[in-house]
Amino acid sequence: MRVAMIGSGYVGLVSGACFADFGHHVVCVDKDPGKIERLNAGIMPIYEPGLEQLVSSNARAGRLSFTTSLDEGIAGAEAIFIAVGTPSRRGDGHADLSYVHAAASEIAKALDGYAVIVTKSTVPVGTGDEVERIMAEANPEAQFAVVSNPEFLREGAAIGDFKRPDRIVVGTEDDRARAVMAELYRPLFLNQSPILFVGRRTAELIKYAANAFLATKITFINEIADLCEAAGANVQDVARGIGLDNRIGSKFLHAGPGYGGSCFPKDTLALVKTAQDLGAPIRIVETVAAVNSQRKRAMARKVIAAAGGNVRGKRIAVLGLTFKPNTDDMRDSPAIDIIQALQDGGATIHAYDPEGHEQAALVLNHVDYANDPYHALEGADAAVLVTEWDVFRALDMDRVKALLTAPVLIDLRNVYDPAEMARRGIRYSSIGR
């Protein structure tokens, strides 16, 4: 099949490359000429394990190409995906759909035959209806069907998630569009990946509900961690004890500094705003968003307490900057709030992240970036582990202790064992233990 992907960011690029790997012919379109030029040169705009090789192999095979021309990109396409950004709108927290609406209008004007228009972007309930209206108004002669096909890709594991999904959600009531989508995803039937055909509005809501539920699990275990600290219990054992219950499950029960990234913060907020507008407020999700926002600054206070109650004039080593490992994504990373709060307290920051320095420099000021973990630790008065990259899981603790001016380690991901740290003479603080 011929596929067009409007938007060559994280979702569009990963999805386009994976569809090409299935044997489809995919054209990725983006308005940014610099991004398209780099992609044509084999330079990835994001860090995602395996993506560079996947893109290059399919580009060489002629199944994947990149262009700034929407007319060129959608020519002859049977499925046209809208995979543009939907950031939180300034001022009110609603999803900003201006890029989606603009793409819909441009697609309609350039359409030269029947095509299925697929919203891959994360959008509020009812967006498909608006896309349909915009397209019909822009080109009354256009032949198309609008389908919702939300993505469920985890940054750092996106290729595996696309090729071996838990489920494929397709929202449409149109039989012709359903047949096109079934053919598009037919290669995944070999893996017996379930494809769930539902109404379009239902599909739109499934995405938001899934992210809100996972954000709720994270926030729940973080609050249980605080209770564990107060009660003298161990949150890791609590999480294991409840996670073995099949009704609960063990995933997303890892206590830490709060969730971040491109999805959970904006999607929980957008769901809250949509529910309020429809007169059906979701109080649980409202609380989740508020608690998570407060938690990040609370983690800075934890660092300050462990460093003696005052960080003015002190040097703090920060290990890990991105919101999670195996990505360079800094969006709503806990590290941002933690570092800014420490700087407000008078600390200077030395930081190391395997992939995040370039993106971190766009959102953080006055941070010195080290070229390895030990360089960041050298001469620091305390170290804080924020993101659990593999490189931080087996640090030479004798070397760590020797490099620090004071043997203080605040582990916000519970990577290390408290008893082992005590044995080594390191003043160790973790989450919920």
Confidence at residue 90, expressed as pLDDT on a 0 to 100 scale: 77
Partners of residue 190 on adjacent β-strands: none
The span from the CA of 69 to the CA of 77, in Å, is 14
Residue 419, classified by CB atoms within 10 Å of its CB into exposed (0-12), middle (13-18) or buried (19+), is exposed
Report d(CA 358, CA 13) in Å as an integer.
20
CA within 13 Å, CB half, 147: 31
Domain coordinates in residue numbering, the chain: 2-198, 208-289, 295-429
Domains 2-198 and 295-429 belong to one CATH topology: yes
What CA–CA distances, in Å, run from 163 to 115, 168, 200, 421?
24, 11, 23, 41
User: What values do phi and psi take at 346, rounded to 5?
Assistant: 100, 10
Write 290-296 long-range contacts (CB < 8 A, 24+): 291/219, 291/222, 291/223, 292/215, 292/218, 292/219, 292/222, 292/258, 292/259, 292/265, 292/268, 293/258, 295/219, 295/222, 295/257, 295/258, 295/334, 296/257, 296/258, 296/334, 296/336, 296/337, 296/338
- DSSP letter at 136? H
Calculate ∠ Cα 30-156-393, nearest 5°. Answer: 150
Q: What is the torsion angle, in degrees rounded to the nearest 10, for the CA atoms of residue 8, residue 9, residue 14 and residue 19?
A: -30
The burial of 164, by beta-carbon neighbours within 10 Å (0-12 exposed, 13-18 middle, 19 or more buried), is given as: exposed
Residues belonging to the active site: 263
Whether the Cβ atoms of residue 238 and residue 431 lie closer than 8 Å to each other? no
CB-based burial label for 252 (10 Å; 0-12, 13-18, 19+): middle
Per-residue buried b or exposed e for 279-306, using 16+ beta carbons within 10 Å of the residue's own CB: eeebeebbebbebbeebbbbbbebbbeb
pTM of the complete model: 0.93
pLDDT score recorded for residue 93: 81
Q: In the 8-state DSSP scheme, what is residue 106? A: H
pLDDT score, position 418: 97
pLDDT at residue number 190 = 74
The pLDDT score that the predictor gives to residue 381 is 98
Please state, in angstroms and rounded to a whole number, the distance separating the CA atoms of residues 53 and 75. Answer: 27
- pLDDT value at position 191? 73
Superfamily grouping for domain 208-289:
N-(1-d-carboxylethyl)-l-norvaline Dehydrogenase; domain 2 (1.10.1040.10)
Residues of the chain with pLDDT under 50: none
Report the chain's C-alpha Rg in angstroms: 23
Q: Is 381 helix (H, G, I), strand (E, B) or coil?
A: coil
Q: How many CB atoms lie within 10 A of CB 265?
A: 22
**Fold topology of 2-198:** Rossmann fold (3.40.50)
Per DSSP, the three-state class of 81 is: strand
SS3 label, residue 26: strand
User: What's the confidence (pLDDT) of residue 37?
Assistant: 97
C-alpha closest to that of 17 among 67, 47, 58, 45: 58
In angstroms, the CA 103 to CA 119 distance is: 10
CA angle 208, 235, 267 (to 5 degrees): 15
Mean pLDDT, the chain, integer: 96
Q: Which two tokens stand for residue 360?
A: 């971190």
Task: Identify the pLDDT of residue 50.
Answer: 97
In the three-class reduction of DSSP (H, G, I as helix; E, B as strand; rest coil), residue 285 is classed as: helix
51-94: pLDDT as tens digits:
999 999 999 999 999 999 999 999 999 999 999 999 988 777 88
For domain 295-429, give the CATH number.
3.40.50.720
Tens of pLDDT, residues 256-310? 999 999 899 999 999 999 999 999 999 999 999 999 999 999 999 999 999 999 9
| Residue 132 burial (C-beta neighbours within 10 Å; 0-12, 13-18, 19+) | middle
